[in-house]
Protein backbone atom coordinates (compact mmCIF):
# COMPACT_ATOMS: atom_id res chain seq x y z
CA UNK A 1 0.00 0.00 0.00
CA UNK A 2 1.42 3.38 -1.05
CA UNK A 3 2.20 5.82 1.73
CA UNK A 4 1.08 9.43 1.53
CA UNK A 5 3.84 11.97 0.85
CA UNK A 6 3.59 15.62 1.88
CA UNK A 7 5.90 18.42 0.74
CA UNK A 8 6.77 21.43 2.88
CA UNK A 9 7.38 25.00 1.70
CA UNK A 10 11.13 24.28 1.47
CA UNK A 11 10.50 21.47 -1.02
CA UNK A 12 11.32 18.65 1.39
CA UNK A 13 9.18 15.50 1.14
CA UNK A 14 7.82 13.77 4.24
CA UNK A 15 6.37 10.24 4.15
CA UNK A 16 3.51 9.61 6.59
CA UNK A 17 4.35 6.17 7.96
CA UNK A 18 2.16 5.58 11.01
CA UNK A 19 -0.69 7.33 12.85
CA UNK A 20 0.56 8.58 16.22
CA UNK A 21 -2.66 10.21 17.43
CA UNK A 22 -5.86 11.80 16.18
CA UNK A 23 -8.35 14.21 17.64
CA UNK A 24 -11.09 16.70 16.93
CA UNK A 25 -9.04 18.88 14.62
CA UNK A 26 -6.57 16.58 12.93
CA UNK A 27 -4.18 13.68 12.83
CA UNK A 28 -0.50 13.30 13.78
CA UNK A 29 1.77 10.93 11.84
CA UNK A 30 5.19 9.50 12.43
CA UNK A 31 7.40 9.90 9.37
CA UNK A 32 10.29 7.90 7.97
CA UNK A 33 12.65 10.62 9.23
CA UNK A 34 13.96 10.32 12.80
CA UNK A 35 12.12 12.57 15.26
CA UNK A 36 9.96 14.32 12.62
CA UNK A 37 6.16 14.30 12.95
CA UNK A 38 3.44 15.51 10.60
CA UNK A 39 0.30 17.27 11.84
CA UNK A 40 -2.55 17.51 9.31
CA UNK A 41 -5.82 19.31 9.96
CA UNK A 42 -9.02 17.64 8.88
CA UNK A 43 -12.74 18.24 8.81
CA UNK A 44 -13.94 16.66 12.09
CA UNK A 45 -17.14 15.43 10.44
CA UNK A 46 -15.72 13.89 7.25
CA UNK A 47 -12.09 13.43 8.41
CA UNK A 48 -10.94 14.72 5.03
CA UNK A 49 -7.65 16.65 5.09
CA UNK A 50 -8.18 20.42 4.83
CA UNK A 51 -6.68 22.01 1.72
CA UNK A 52 -7.38 25.72 2.25
CA UNK A 53 -3.73 26.64 2.80
CA UNK A 54 -4.58 30.19 3.87
CA UNK A 55 -5.17 28.54 7.26
CA UNK A 56 -1.44 27.75 7.44
CA UNK A 57 -0.70 31.37 8.40
CA UNK A 58 -1.60 30.63 12.02
CA UNK A 59 1.20 28.05 12.24
CA UNK A 60 3.76 30.66 11.22
CA UNK A 61 2.40 32.98 13.91
CA UNK A 62 2.74 30.30 16.59
CA UNK A 63 6.22 29.34 15.44
CA UNK A 64 7.67 32.80 16.13
CA UNK A 65 6.14 33.42 19.57
CA UNK A 66 9.18 34.50 21.65
CA UNK A 67 7.71 33.61 25.04
CA UNK A 68 7.67 29.90 24.17
CA UNK A 69 11.44 29.54 23.87
CA UNK A 70 12.87 26.88 26.19
CA UNK A 71 9.39 25.46 26.78
CA UNK A 72 8.78 21.75 26.16
CA UNK A 73 6.42 22.30 23.23
CA UNK A 74 6.78 20.76 19.79
CA UNK A 75 6.13 23.94 17.80
CA UNK A 76 5.68 23.96 14.01
CA UNK A 77 9.02 23.60 12.21
CA UNK A 78 8.03 23.84 8.55
CA UNK A 79 4.67 24.48 6.88
CA UNK A 80 3.21 22.07 4.31
CA UNK A 81 2.21 22.87 0.75
CA UNK A 82 -1.23 22.02 -0.68
CA UNK A 83 -2.70 20.92 2.67
CA UNK A 84 -3.25 22.53 6.06
CA UNK A 85 -0.49 21.20 8.28
CA UNK A 86 3.11 21.34 9.40
CA UNK A 87 6.09 19.31 10.56
CA UNK A 88 7.29 19.23 14.15
CA UNK A 89 10.11 17.63 16.12
CA UNK A 90 9.73 14.89 18.70
CA UNK A 91 12.32 13.43 21.04
CA UNK A 92 13.38 9.79 20.87
CA UNK A 93 11.93 7.38 23.39
CA UNK A 94 8.74 9.30 24.13
CA UNK A 95 5.15 8.11 23.95
CA UNK A 96 1.78 9.68 24.69
CA UNK A 97 0.47 9.52 28.26
CA UNK A 98 -2.30 7.34 26.85
CA UNK A 99 0.20 4.76 25.58
CA UNK A 100 2.65 5.10 28.48
CA UNK A 101 0.02 4.30 31.10
CA UNK A 102 -2.00 1.70 29.20
CA UNK A 103 0.22 -1.22 30.24
CA UNK A 104 0.26 -2.72 26.75
CA UNK A 105 3.59 -4.26 25.71
CA UNK A 106 5.09 -3.81 29.19
CA UNK A 107 6.62 -6.62 31.25
CA UNK A 108 4.10 -7.28 34.01
CA UNK A 109 5.24 -7.75 37.63
CA UNK A 110 4.75 -11.07 39.35
CA UNK A 111 4.59 -11.28 43.14
CA UNK A 112 2.53 -13.10 45.74
CA UNK A 113 0.34 -10.10 46.52
CA UNK A 114 -0.63 -9.38 42.91
CA UNK A 115 -1.31 -13.09 42.27
CA UNK A 116 -3.59 -13.26 45.32
CA UNK A 117 -5.32 -10.07 44.19
CA UNK A 118 -5.96 -11.55 40.74
CA UNK A 119 -7.41 -14.70 42.29
CA UNK A 120 -9.77 -12.64 44.45
CA UNK A 121 -10.69 -10.07 41.78
CA UNK A 122 -9.24 -10.71 38.34
CA UNK A 123 -10.37 -7.37 36.91
CA UNK A 124 -8.84 -5.30 39.71
CA UNK A 125 -5.71 -7.46 39.84
CA UNK A 126 -5.07 -7.06 36.12
CA UNK A 127 -5.52 -3.28 36.31
CA UNK A 128 -3.17 -2.95 39.29
CA UNK A 129 -0.58 -5.20 37.64
CA UNK A 130 -0.46 -2.86 34.63
CA UNK A 131 -0.44 0.15 36.96
CA UNK A 132 2.74 -1.15 38.59
CA UNK A 133 4.33 -2.05 35.24
CA UNK A 134 3.86 1.48 33.91
CA UNK A 135 5.64 3.19 36.78
CA UNK A 136 2.89 3.29 39.36
CA UNK A 137 1.70 6.40 41.12
CA UNK A 138 5.22 7.90 41.23
CA UNK A 139 5.57 7.96 37.44
CA UNK A 140 2.10 9.44 37.01
CA UNK A 141 2.55 12.18 39.60
CA UNK A 142 5.96 13.04 38.14
CA UNK A 143 4.67 13.12 34.56
CA UNK A 144 1.70 15.33 35.42
CA UNK A 145 3.93 17.55 37.56
CA UNK A 146 6.15 18.16 34.55
CA UNK A 147 3.13 18.73 32.31
CA UNK A 148 1.69 21.24 34.79
CA UNK A 149 4.93 23.23 34.63
CA UNK A 150 4.74 23.44 30.82
CA UNK A 151 1.12 24.56 31.01
CA UNK A 152 1.91 27.09 33.74
CA UNK A 153 4.50 28.69 31.45
CA UNK A 154 1.96 28.81 28.62
CA UNK A 155 -0.63 30.46 30.84
CA UNK A 156 1.90 32.91 32.29
CA UNK A 157 2.53 34.06 28.71
CA UNK A 158 -1.15 34.92 28.29
CA UNK A 159 -1.77 31.86 26.11
CA UNK A 160 -4.25 28.99 26.28
CA UNK A 161 -3.35 25.48 25.08
CA UNK A 162 -7.01 24.71 24.22
CA UNK A 163 -6.86 20.91 23.68
CA UNK A 164 -5.35 19.07 26.64
CA UNK A 165 -5.64 15.30 26.56
CA UNK A 166 -3.46 12.27 27.15
CA UNK A 167 -2.93 12.02 23.40
CA UNK A 168 -1.19 15.42 23.35
CA UNK A 169 1.07 15.00 26.39
CA UNK A 170 4.16 12.85 25.80
CA UNK A 171 6.42 11.26 28.41
CA UNK A 172 9.54 9.09 28.45
CA UNK A 173 8.67 5.50 27.52
CA UNK A 174 11.04 4.27 30.27
CA UNK A 175 8.85 3.78 33.41
CA UNK A 176 11.68 5.19 35.54
CA UNK A 177 11.88 8.51 33.65
CA UNK A 178 9.35 11.33 33.34
CA UNK A 179 10.53 13.90 30.81
CA UNK A 180 7.44 15.54 29.30
CA UNK A 181 6.68 17.39 26.08
CA UNK A 182 3.39 18.67 24.70
CA UNK A 183 2.61 18.21 21.02
CA UNK A 184 -0.18 19.45 18.72
CA UNK A 185 0.29 23.09 19.68
CA UNK A 186 -1.51 24.61 16.69
CA UNK A 187 -4.47 25.44 18.92
CA UNK A 188 -2.39 27.79 21.07
CA UNK A 189 -4.17 31.10 21.31
CA UNK A 190 -3.93 34.30 23.33
CA UNK A 191 -6.46 34.32 26.16
CA UNK A 192 -8.20 37.50 24.98
CA UNK A 193 -8.77 35.83 21.61
CA UNK A 194 -9.61 32.31 22.79
CA UNK A 195 -12.33 33.46 25.18
CA UNK A 196 -14.13 35.07 22.22
CA UNK A 197 -13.39 32.28 19.76
CA UNK A 198 -16.32 30.14 18.67
CA UNK A 199 -15.16 26.87 17.14
CA UNK A 200 -18.18 24.70 17.76
CA UNK A 201 -16.76 23.42 21.03
CA UNK A 202 -13.95 21.42 19.44
CA UNK A 203 -12.04 19.40 22.04
CA UNK A 204 -10.62 15.96 22.70
CA UNK A 205 -13.57 13.72 23.66
CA UNK A 206 -13.79 13.04 27.37
CA UNK A 207 -11.60 16.00 28.39
CA UNK A 208 -13.82 19.03 27.74
CA UNK A 209 -14.77 21.62 30.34
CA UNK A 210 -18.53 22.33 30.60
CA UNK A 211 -18.26 25.75 28.95
CA UNK A 212 -16.61 24.21 25.89
CA UNK A 213 -19.71 22.13 25.18
CA UNK A 214 -21.70 25.38 25.29
CA UNK A 215 -19.20 27.02 22.90
CA UNK A 216 -18.41 29.81 25.37
CA UNK A 217 -14.73 30.01 24.50
CA UNK A 218 -11.63 28.52 26.09
CA UNK A 219 -9.51 29.93 28.90
CA UNK A 220 -6.68 28.80 31.14
CA UNK A 221 -9.45 27.58 33.47
CA UNK A 222 -10.74 25.30 30.70
CA UNK A 223 -7.18 23.99 30.34
CA UNK A 224 -7.05 23.38 34.09
CA UNK A 225 -10.32 21.44 33.98
CA UNK A 226 -9.10 19.21 31.14
CA UNK A 227 -5.78 18.68 32.93
CA UNK A 228 -7.61 17.64 36.11
CA UNK A 229 -9.70 15.10 34.16
CA UNK A 230 -6.54 13.55 32.68
CA UNK A 231 -4.79 13.49 36.06
CA UNK A 232 -7.71 11.90 37.91
CA UNK A 233 -8.29 9.39 35.12
CA UNK A 234 -4.68 8.19 35.17
CA UNK A 235 -4.14 8.24 38.93
CA UNK A 236 -7.32 6.30 39.72
CA UNK A 237 -8.02 4.47 36.44
CA UNK A 238 -11.49 6.06 36.65
CA UNK A 239 -13.05 8.97 34.76
CA UNK A 240 -14.16 11.69 37.21
CA UNK A 241 -17.68 11.88 35.76
CA UNK A 242 -18.31 8.27 34.71
CA UNK A 243 -20.50 7.11 37.58
CA UNK A 244 -23.84 5.37 38.15
CA UNK A 245 -26.02 8.33 37.13
CA UNK A 246 -24.02 8.87 33.95
CA UNK A 247 -24.12 5.15 33.14
CA UNK A 248 -27.91 5.09 33.50
CA UNK A 249 -28.19 8.01 31.09
CA UNK A 250 -25.88 6.34 28.58
CA UNK A 251 -27.90 3.11 28.74
CA UNK A 252 -30.93 5.03 27.50
CA UNK A 253 -29.14 6.37 24.42
CA UNK A 254 -29.53 4.29 21.27
CA UNK A 255 -26.45 5.45 19.42
CA UNK A 256 -23.31 7.27 20.55
CA UNK A 257 -21.28 9.46 18.19
CA UNK A 258 -18.46 10.05 20.71
CA UNK A 259 -16.77 8.08 23.52
CA UNK A 260 -19.04 7.50 26.53
CA UNK A 261 -16.95 9.76 28.77
CA UNK A 262 -17.57 12.73 26.48
CA UNK A 263 -21.27 12.76 27.39
CA UNK A 264 -20.47 13.07 31.09
CA UNK A 265 -18.33 16.25 31.05
CA UNK A 266 -21.06 18.74 30.17
CA UNK A 267 -21.63 19.75 33.79
CA UNK A 268 -24.89 17.85 34.18
CA UNK A 269 -23.45 15.22 36.53
CA UNK A 270 -21.75 15.42 39.91
CA UNK A 271 -18.21 14.13 39.96
CA UNK A 272 -17.73 10.63 41.31
CA UNK A 273 -16.34 11.75 44.71
CA UNK A 274 -18.57 14.78 45.26
CA UNK A 275 -18.93 15.57 48.97
CA UNK A 276 -22.44 16.99 48.59
CA UNK A 277 -24.00 14.84 45.85
CA UNK A 278 -23.49 11.07 45.74
CA UNK A 279 -25.84 10.43 42.80
CA UNK A 280 -22.97 9.70 40.43
CA UNK A 281 -20.66 7.54 42.53
CA UNK A 282 -17.94 5.77 40.55
CA UNK A 283 -18.87 2.55 38.79
CA UNK A 284 -15.27 1.71 37.86
CA UNK A 285 -14.61 -0.71 40.71
CA UNK A 286 -11.32 1.05 41.50
CA UNK A 287 -10.39 1.90 45.14
CA UNK A 288 -10.15 5.63 44.35
CA UNK A 289 -9.39 6.62 47.95
CA UNK A 290 -6.11 4.68 47.77
CA UNK A 291 -4.80 6.94 44.99
CA UNK A 292 -6.11 10.33 46.12
CA UNK A 293 -5.05 11.76 49.48
CA UNK A 294 -6.60 14.74 51.26
CA UNK A 295 -4.47 17.39 49.53
CA UNK A 296 -5.23 16.10 46.04
CA UNK A 297 -8.89 15.55 46.88
CA UNK A 298 -9.23 19.20 47.87
CA UNK A 299 -7.87 20.32 44.48
CA UNK A 300 -10.15 17.94 42.57
CA UNK A 301 -13.17 19.02 44.62
CA UNK A 302 -12.39 22.66 43.89
CA UNK A 303 -12.37 21.89 40.16
CA UNK A 304 -15.10 19.27 39.72
CA UNK A 305 -17.69 20.41 42.30
CA UNK A 306 -20.81 22.18 41.05
CA UNK A 307 -19.16 25.48 41.95
CA UNK A 308 -16.09 24.57 39.87
CA UNK A 309 -18.15 23.32 36.95
CA UNK A 310 -20.25 26.48 36.81
CA UNK A 311 -17.67 29.09 37.83
CA UNK A 312 -14.43 28.46 36.00
CA UNK A 313 -12.49 31.06 38.01
CA UNK A 314 -13.03 28.90 41.13
CA UNK A 315 -11.04 25.95 39.76
CA UNK A 316 -7.58 24.83 40.79
CA UNK A 317 -5.06 26.68 38.62
CA UNK A 318 -1.99 25.17 37.00
CA UNK A 319 0.49 26.69 39.53
CA UNK A 320 -1.64 25.22 42.33
CA UNK A 321 -1.51 21.82 40.64
CA UNK A 322 2.26 22.15 40.29
CA UNK A 323 2.68 22.78 44.01
CA UNK A 324 0.42 19.98 45.26
CA UNK A 325 1.80 17.43 42.77
CA UNK A 326 5.38 18.21 43.84
CA UNK A 327 4.37 17.96 47.49
CA UNK A 328 2.68 14.60 47.11
CA UNK A 329 5.33 13.19 44.77
CA UNK A 330 7.85 13.79 47.55
CA UNK A 331 5.82 11.54 49.87
CA UNK A 332 5.49 8.53 47.57
CA UNK A 333 6.86 5.26 48.93
CA UNK A 334 7.11 2.09 46.85
CA UNK A 335 6.37 -1.07 48.82
CA UNK A 336 9.12 -3.69 48.78
CA UNK A 337 6.55 -6.52 48.86
CA UNK A 338 3.62 -5.68 46.58
CA UNK A 339 5.41 -2.96 44.54
CA UNK A 340 2.44 -0.60 44.81
CA UNK A 341 3.06 3.07 45.57
CA UNK A 342 1.40 4.94 48.43
CA UNK A 343 1.65 8.23 50.30
CA UNK A 344 4.08 7.47 53.11
CA UNK A 345 5.41 9.01 56.29
CA UNK A 346 8.08 8.21 58.84
CA UNK A 347 6.04 5.26 60.14
CA UNK A 348 5.55 3.73 56.72
CA UNK A 349 3.16 0.79 56.53
CA UNK A 350 1.82 -0.14 53.10
CA UNK A 351 -1.99 0.25 52.96
CA UNK A 352 -2.18 -2.31 50.16
CA UNK A 353 -0.46 -5.32 51.76
CA UNK A 354 0.33 -4.13 55.34
CA UNK A 355 4.08 -4.63 54.89
CA UNK A 356 6.30 -2.30 56.89
CA UNK A 357 8.83 -0.50 54.70
CA UNK A 358 12.19 1.03 55.55
CA UNK A 359 12.22 4.71 54.65
CA UNK A 360 14.40 7.80 54.67
CA UNK A 361 12.77 11.10 55.58
CA UNK A 362 14.18 14.60 55.19
CA UNK A 363 12.50 17.49 57.02
CA UNK A 364 13.73 21.00 56.28
CA UNK A 365 13.29 24.17 58.33
CA UNK A 366 14.35 27.72 57.61
CA UNK A 367 16.08 29.35 60.57
CA UNK A 368 14.75 32.83 61.29
CA UNK A 369 16.46 34.14 64.41
CA UNK A 370 15.63 31.65 67.14
CA UNK A 371 12.65 30.24 65.23
CA UNK A 372 12.36 27.23 62.94
CA UNK A 373 9.95 27.70 60.04
CA UNK A 374 8.87 24.47 58.36
CA UNK A 375 9.90 24.47 54.70
CA UNK A 376 9.38 21.01 53.14
CA UNK A 377 9.57 17.32 53.85
CA UNK A 378 10.51 14.35 51.74
CA UNK A 379 9.96 10.61 52.26
CA UNK A 380 11.31 7.76 50.13
CA UNK A 381 11.72 4.03 50.49
CA UNK A 382 15.25 2.81 51.15
CA UNK A 383 16.50 1.36 47.89
CA UNK A 384 19.71 0.02 46.38
CA UNK A 385 20.28 3.04 44.16
CA UNK A 386 20.88 6.69 44.97
CA UNK A 387 18.01 8.86 46.17
CA UNK A 388 18.08 12.38 44.79
CA UNK A 389 16.79 14.96 47.25
CA UNK A 390 15.22 17.72 45.11
CA UNK A 391 16.26 21.34 45.45
CA UNK A 392 12.67 22.25 46.35
CA UNK A 393 13.23 20.96 49.91
CA UNK A 394 15.32 24.13 50.37
CA UNK A 395 13.91 26.56 47.82
CA UNK A 396 10.31 25.51 47.27
CA UNK A 397 8.83 24.55 43.91
CA UNK A 398 10.48 26.12 40.88
CA UNK A 399 8.96 24.96 37.60
CA UNK A 400 12.15 25.86 35.73
CA UNK A 401 14.35 23.58 37.86
CA UNK A 402 12.21 20.58 38.79
CA UNK A 403 15.03 18.09 38.30
CA UNK A 404 17.69 20.06 40.16
CA UNK A 405 18.86 18.29 43.30
CA UNK A 406 20.11 19.59 46.63
CA UNK A 407 22.09 16.44 47.41
CA UNK A 408 22.08 12.68 47.06
CA UNK A 409 21.61 9.94 49.65
CA UNK A 410 22.96 6.45 48.98
CA UNK A 411 22.32 3.51 51.28
CA UNK A 412 25.46 1.48 51.94
CA UNK A 413 26.07 -1.70 53.91
CA UNK A 414 26.44 -0.13 57.35
CA UNK A 415 24.96 3.34 56.97
CA UNK A 416 24.33 6.02 54.38
CA UNK A 417 26.42 8.33 52.23
CA UNK A 418 25.47 11.94 51.56
CA UNK A 419 27.09 13.46 48.50
CA UNK A 420 26.71 15.33 45.23
CA UNK A 421 26.04 18.48 47.26
CA UNK A 422 24.67 21.54 45.48
CA UNK A 423 27.40 24.13 44.99
CA UNK A 424 24.90 26.86 45.84
CA UNK A 425 24.97 25.82 49.51
CA UNK A 426 27.53 25.12 52.21
CA UNK A 427 26.62 22.06 54.29
CA UNK A 428 27.71 21.52 57.91
CA UNK A 429 27.24 18.91 60.61
CA UNK A 430 24.84 20.37 63.15
CA UNK A 431 26.70 19.12 66.21
CA UNK A 432 29.44 20.24 68.55
CA UNK A 433 32.04 20.12 65.77
CA UNK A 434 30.11 22.15 63.19
CA UNK A 435 32.32 20.54 60.56
CA UNK A 436 31.67 21.44 56.95
CA UNK A 437 31.11 18.46 54.67
CA UNK A 438 32.30 18.13 51.09
CA UNK A 439 32.08 15.57 48.32
CA UNK A 440 30.71 12.33 49.74
CA UNK A 441 30.40 11.79 53.50
CA UNK A 442 29.58 8.44 55.08
CA UNK A 443 27.47 8.15 58.22
CA UNK A 444 27.77 4.72 59.85
CA UNK A 445 25.03 3.13 61.95
CA UNK A 446 23.27 6.44 62.54
CA UNK A 447 19.48 6.70 62.41
CA UNK A 448 19.22 10.46 62.82
CA UNK A 449 21.44 13.06 61.14
CA UNK A 450 21.10 16.81 61.45
CA UNK A 451 22.76 19.12 58.94
CA UNK A 452 22.87 22.86 58.47
CA UNK A 453 22.83 24.42 55.01
CA UNK A 454 23.72 28.03 54.25
CA UNK A 455 22.70 29.59 50.95
CA UNK A 456 25.83 31.17 49.46
CA UNK A 457 23.76 33.72 47.53
CA UNK A 458 21.86 35.31 50.39
CA UNK A 459 23.08 33.79 53.65
CA UNK A 460 19.77 32.10 54.49
CA UNK A 461 20.26 29.18 56.87
CA UNK A 462 18.34 25.91 56.95
CA UNK A 463 18.16 22.93 59.28
CA UNK A 464 17.87 19.47 57.71
CA UNK A 465 16.71 16.56 59.84
CA UNK A 466 17.44 13.24 58.13
CA UNK A 467 15.92 10.14 59.69
CA UNK A 468 16.54 6.56 58.62
CA UNK A 469 13.88 4.07 59.69
CA UNK A 470 15.03 0.50 59.08
List the chain domain ranges.
5-90, 95-329, 358-469
Kindly list the distances between the CA atom of residue 454 and the CA atoms of 31, 160, 414, 430, in Å, as whole numbers in the listed order. 51, 40, 28, 12
pLDDT tens per residue, range 393-402: 999 999 888 8
- Residues ≥6 apart with Cβ < 8 Å to 381: 333, 334, 335, 336, 344, 348, 357, 358, 359, 360
Q: What is the pLDDT of residue 216?
A: 85
pLDDT tens per residue, range 17-32: 888 877 767 888 989 9
Closest CA to 100 of 172, 36, 22, 164: 172
Q: What percent of the chain has pLDDT over 90?
A: 62
Question: According to the 3-state scheme, what is the secondary structure of the chain?
Answer: CCCCEEEECCCCEEEEEEEEEECCCEEEEEECCCCEEEEEEECCCCCCECCCHHHHHHHHHHHCCHHHCCCCECCEEEEECCCCEEEEECCCCEEEHHHHCCCCCCCCCCCHHHHHHHHHCHHHHHHHHHHHHCCHHHHHHHHHHHHHHHHHHHHHCCEECCCCCCCCEEEECCCCCCCEEECCHHHCEEHHHHCCCCCCCCCCCCCCCHHHHCCCCCCHHHHHHHHHHHHHHHHHCCCCCCEHHHHHHHHCCCCCCCCHHHHHCCCCCCCCCCCCCCCCCECCCCCHHHCCCHHHHHHHHHHHCHHHHHCHHHCCCHHHHHHHHHHHHCCEEECCCCCCEEECCCCCECCCCCCECCEEEEEEEEEECCEEEEEEEEEEECCCCEEEEECHHHHCCCCCCCCCEEEEEEEECCEEEEECCCCCEEEEECCCCCCEECCCEEEECCCEEEEEEEECCCCCEEEEEEEEEC
Whether pLDDT at 460 is above 70: yes
Q: What is the pLDDT of residue 373?
A: 96
Q: How far apart are CA 261 and CA 133, in angstroms?
A: 25
State the pLDDT confidence band at 404, using cuts at 50, 70 and 90.
very high
Whether pLDDT at 44 is above 80: no
State the pLDDT confidence band at 198, using cuts at 50, 70 and 90.
low
Paired residues of 468 in beta bridges? 360
CATH topology (fold) of 95-329: Transferase(Phosphotransferase); domain 1 (1.10.510)
Q: What is the pLDDT of residue 298?
A: 98
State the pLDDT confidence band at 213, using cuts at 50, 70 and 90.
confident
Region 257-261: mean pLDDT is 73
Q: How far apart are CA 339 and CA 136, in angstroms?
A: 9
The values of phi and psi at residue 432, to 5°, are -65, -25
State the pLDDT confidence band at 71, using cuts at 50, 70 and 90.
confident
Q: What is the pLDDT of residue 24?
A: 65
Q: Does domain 5-90 have CATH number 3.40.630.10?
A: no
Q: What percent of the chain has pLDDT over 70?
A: 95
Paired residues of 95 in beta bridges? 171
Kindly list the distances between the CA atom of residue 322 and the CA atoms of 112, 315, 318, 387, in Å, as whole numbers in the listed order. 36, 14, 6, 21
State the pLDDT confidence band at 365, using cuts at 50, 70 and 90.
very high
Where is average pLDDT lowest: 203-212, 271-280, 354-363? 203-212
Q: What angle do CA 195, 98, 124 make, to 5 degrees?
A: 120
State the pLDDT confidence band at 156, using cuts at 50, 70 and 90.
very high
Mean model confidence pLDDT for the chain: 90
CATH topology (fold) of 358-469: Tumour Suppressor Smad4 (2.60.200)
Residue 447 neighbours by CB distance under 10 Å: 12
Whether pLDDT at 290 is above 50: yes
Whether pLDDT at 266 is above 80: yes
Region 351-372: mean pLDDT is 95
Whether pLDDT at 334 is above 90: yes
Q: What is the pLDDT of residue 1?
A: 46
Q: What is the pLDDT of residue 34?
A: 86
Region 316-337: mean pLDDT is 98
Q: What is the pLDDT of residue 309?
A: 96
Q: What is the pLDDT of residue 400?
A: 84
Amino acid sequence: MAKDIYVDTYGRSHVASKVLSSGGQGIVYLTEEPNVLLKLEWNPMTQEIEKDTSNNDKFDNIRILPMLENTNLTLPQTILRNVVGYTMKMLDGMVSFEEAFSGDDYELPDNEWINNMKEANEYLGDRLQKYIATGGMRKRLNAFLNASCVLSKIHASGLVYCDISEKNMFVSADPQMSHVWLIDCDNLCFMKESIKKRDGGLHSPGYGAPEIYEDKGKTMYSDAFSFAIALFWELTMSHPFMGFAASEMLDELDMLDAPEEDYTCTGAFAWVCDEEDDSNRSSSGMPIEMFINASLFEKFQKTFSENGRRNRQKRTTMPEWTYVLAKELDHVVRCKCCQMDYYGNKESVCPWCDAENSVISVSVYKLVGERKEFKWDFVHEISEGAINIPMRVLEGVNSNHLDEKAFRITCVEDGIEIGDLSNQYDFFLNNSTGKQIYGSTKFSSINNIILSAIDRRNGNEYLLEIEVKQ
